[in-house]
């Protein structure tokens, strides 16, 4: 199954969640067992050369791909979530949005001197959330081996915000 076929399993939803936005809906891909399995195989091929010690999946659709990829690669999965979603002690990183701020959080015990994460998400747009996750990892003396996305919206130049971190994406839209 080629990337061209994978892209046929991504549905465009115009004006969602607000007018002028074309949402890239992954639910048809998730509902296609062969397509989903191929996506995980391709993500593993992209990530394995970087030899991460763990995966760091970004809320919430990144959890879907991160969980399957964790099983396929045999490495632990850790979560990056929005504020107030993780139980227990958390550490966080705030970041700027177009109109305000947001924050990502993770459990502090995942960060060790030798931890090297592959950051996983479904989509790279402007790169703000991924950049915040990278900054969170670096602030806690761990490293990011690579970032891997199913979809990249290249025109939004999110890759530029992730400078210094190798970026892999399976499907790119101009």
pLDDT tens figures, 19-36: 999 999 999 999 999 999
The verdict on whether omega for the bond into residue 17 sits within 30 degrees of 0, i.e. cis, is: yes
d(CA 62, CA 144): 16
Q: Supply the pLDDT for residue 152.
A: 98
d(CA 33, CA 77): 22
Residue with tokens 């290249």: 154
Q: Answer whether residue 4 shows pLDDT above 80.
A: no
Q: Within a domain: residue 4? A: no
Q: Within a domain: residue 43? A: no
Give the angle 43-39-103 at the CA atoms, nearest 5°.
65
Q: Within a domain: residue 135? A: yes
Q: Supply the pLDDT for residue 108.
A: 98
Decide which of 4 and 102 is more confident.
102
Residue 99 pLDDT class (50, 70, 90 cuts): confident
Q: Supply the pLDDT for residue 2.
A: 73
> 117 has which bridge partners?
54, 144
For residues 62-78, average pLDDT? 98
Q: Within a domain: residue 12? A: no
Read off the pTM: 0.96
Q: Within a domain: residue 15? A: no
Kindly state the DSSP code that residue 13 receives in the 8-state scheme. E
- CATH classification at residue 133: 3.40.50.2020
Average pLDDT, rounded, for the chain: 96
* Contact assessment for residue 15 and residue 21, using Cβ atoms and an 8 Å cutoff: yes
* Contact assessment for residue 120 and residue 62, using Cβ atoms and an 8 Å cutoff: yes
Q: Supply the pLDDT for residue 20.
A: 94
Q: Within a domain: residue 74? A: yes
Q: Answer whether residue 114 shows pLDDT above 90.
A: yes
Q: Within a domain: residue 18? A: no
Q: Within a domain: residue 31? A: no
For residues 115-122, average pLDDT? 98
The CA distances from residue 162 to 74, 122, 159, in Å, are 26, 16, 5
Query: How many domains does the structure of the chain reveal?
Result: 1
Which domain, by its residues, includes 76? 51-173
């Amino acid at each position: 199954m080629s990337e061209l076929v994978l892209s046929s399993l991504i549905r465009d939803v115009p004006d969602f969640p607000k007018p002028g936005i074309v949402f890239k809906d992954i639910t048809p891909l998730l509902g296609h067992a062969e397509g989903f399995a191929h996506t995980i195989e391709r993500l593993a091929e992209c990530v394995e050369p970087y030899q991460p010690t763990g995966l760091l999946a970004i809320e919430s659709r990144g959890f879907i791909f991160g969980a399957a990829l964790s099983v396929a690669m045999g490495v632990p999965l850790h979560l990056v979530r929005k504020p107030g979603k993780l139980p227990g002690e958390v550490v966080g990183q705030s970041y700027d949005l177009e109109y305000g701020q947001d924050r990502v959080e993770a459990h502090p015990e995942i960060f060790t001197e030798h931890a090297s994460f592959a950051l996983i998400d479904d989509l790279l747009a402007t790169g703000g959330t991924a950049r915040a996750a990278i900054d969170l990892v670096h602030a806690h003396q761990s490293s990011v081996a690579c970032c891997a996305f199913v979809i990249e919206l290249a025109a939004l130049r999110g890759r530029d915000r992730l400078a210094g971190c190798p970026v892999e994406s399976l499907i790119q839209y101009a």
